[in-house]
Amino acid sequence: MKKKLTILILVITVPVLFFMAWFISERSFSLSMEREKQRVQMTESIVFREIQKTMMQSEYTNAVAYAQQYHDYYLAQGIELIFCWNSQPIAGAHLPDSKYTGLLQGQRSALLDTENHPEKYAVAEPVNSHLTMILLRDISDLYLLRNNYQSLAFGCAGIASVLLCILAMIFAGILTHPIRNLTHAAQVLAKHTGQEIPLPVARRDEIGALAQAFSDMQEAIQTRENKLRDESNSRQALLDALAHEMRTPLTSLLGNARLLQGELPTEERKRIADNMAREIYRLSDMDQQLMKLTTLRHENIESESVSVLSILNDTAERLNQQADGITIEVTGQDSILYGDRELLSLLSDNLTANAIHASEPGMKILLIAESHGFSVQDQGIGMTEETIQRACEPFWKADKARTRSQGGAGLGLSLCQQIAELHQGTLSFDSSPGVGTKVIFTTSIQPVDDSVTCSVS
């Protein structure tokens, strides 16, 4: 990582340094060239005005004489003059190159000659209809200066590149140090060694934010592992309890099956068959309840507006046939909940079925609609404090003999608790032995009428 980052920094910055050196030298040369052109053009204007006064009306012979005099005079000052009569050089002069004939167009024009050495800048202007003056200035010193400046700039860029390489290695080391720590921490996390690696979470930059995010991830993973471990332990306990719970009906079925293999009166065979059917029903009910309890943890509920009284009335109508002399009465003020109607109905049914199992003929069960849920109250055997504490544990039964005789699987309240939690709610118990039990379902989700935005997670 350190080497790659160093190389990346150099690959990006070194070309930029050399480009900047080249650009600055070219820009400086361009500005110098523009200033030199302006200076040459200004010199040409001064010289041209002087010559025009003298040679404006000159004939060819006089023009040749004046051309020689002016050429010698200005050449001593570093200025070369060429005079052309009808596009032909006079006074022994000659054009440096054929492209200079393009200046003899009867109007003021300029030419930058960089193909020959020394480099020259020429300005031409007609004196009269026959005579044209061309002023040439040697500008090779500008090109020499540009070459020297570029060499100096590239040399500085090279030295800067070396220094930058050293700084890049140091910077890459400093920058990648916390990343190496994070990498090491990730390796430790992957190996589950439990070793704690100090992370730079106190930094107020991106590295600090990354370290904090990694630290949060570590905590989340640890929390997730603990949760999975708890779920695994809970699942194992559930399986152990299931195996234990299934042993009794299976043993009963096996014993009854062996009895049926012998010679028995019809009434005895019918009694044994009824017992077997009851045990099979228990196993089937246990399977359905267990499957529902398992899938609920991973189920996304479909929420809608639900009338509490409607749910309770449907429960009373369904379970009245099982009440066997027990009165089921629906009361309370209707309210609207936001939740899964099927699950809420299952919750109401299970709580009511438990109340029926705990009651005797002639007793009354009240299904009470509350403002934020509902409650089921019976006049049955009631529960002790220990029973209330363990009521929602899978397969736990306060009175095993009574529950077994009634076909219960011991999963109803566990399922009810799962449904309540899916609706962000709770189950609470108010009970005393011999007095009866009131189970209250309360949800934190506000009724639709009171809250415009309701959600269930």
Summarised one tens digit per residue, pLDDT across range 167-192 is 877 777 776 666 666 666 666 656 66
Residue 315 has pLDDT above 70, yes or no: yes
Residues 309 and 450 in one domain: yes
CB 161 within 8 A of CB 10: yes
DSSP annotation of 447 reads: P
Alpha helices in 261-340 (DSSP H): 266-296, 308-319
Residues 338 and 448 in one domain: yes
Query: How much is the average pLDDT of 327-331?
Result: 93
Residues 330 and 241 in one domain: no
For residue 120, what are the β-bridge partners?
Answer: 113, 138
Q: What CATH number is given to the structural domain containing 289?
A: 1.10.287
Q: Is position 230 within any domain?
A: yes
Q: Is position 182 within any domain?
A: no
**In 3D, which of 398, 416, 397, 437 has the Cα closest to residue 282?**
397
CB 424 within 8 A of CB 445: yes
**CA dist., res. 189 & res. 176, Å (int):** 19
User: Lowest mean pLDDT: which of 93-97, 177-181, 420-424?
Assistant: 177-181
**CA dist., res. 35 & res. 121, Å (int):** 12
Q: What are phi and psi of 273, to 5 degrees?
A: -65, -40
**CA dist., res. 50 & res. 139, Å (int):** 24
Residues 57 and 102 in one domain: yes
User: Lowest mean pLDDT: which of 60-64, 76-80, 146-150, 249-253?
Assistant: 249-253
Domain count, the chain: 3
Q: In this structure, are strands 120-126 and 327-332 parallel, antiparallel, or unpaired?
A: unpaired
Residues 236 and 339 in one domain: no
Q: What is the number of alpha carbons within 13 Å of residue 314 lying toward its C-beta?
A: 15
Query: How much is the average pLDDT of 359-372?
Result: 91
For 356, other C-beta atoms within 10 Å of its C-beta total 21
Residues 437 and 345 in one domain: yes
* pLDDT, position 34: 92
DSSP-assigned letters across all residues of 53-67: HHHTT--HHHHHHHH
Structure tokens at 158: 């090279």
User: Lowest mean pLDDT: which of 55-59, 207-211, 302-306, 338-342?
Assistant: 207-211
Q: What are phi and psi of 456, to 5 degrees?
A: -125, 130
For residue 338, what are the β-bridge partners?
Answer: 305
Residue 402 has pLDDT above 50, yes or no: no
3-state secondary structure of 97: coil
Mean pLDDT score across all residues of the chain: 79
Query: How much is the average pLDDT of 336-359?
Result: 87
Q: What CATH number is given to the structural domain containing 336?
A: 3.30.565.10
Give percent above pLDDT 90 in the chain: 20
Instruction: Note down the domain range covering 6.
Output: 2-144
Q: Is position 181 within any domain?
A: no
* pLDDT, position 136: 92
For 215, other C-beta atoms within 10 Å of its C-beta total 16
Residues 272 and 337 in one domain: no
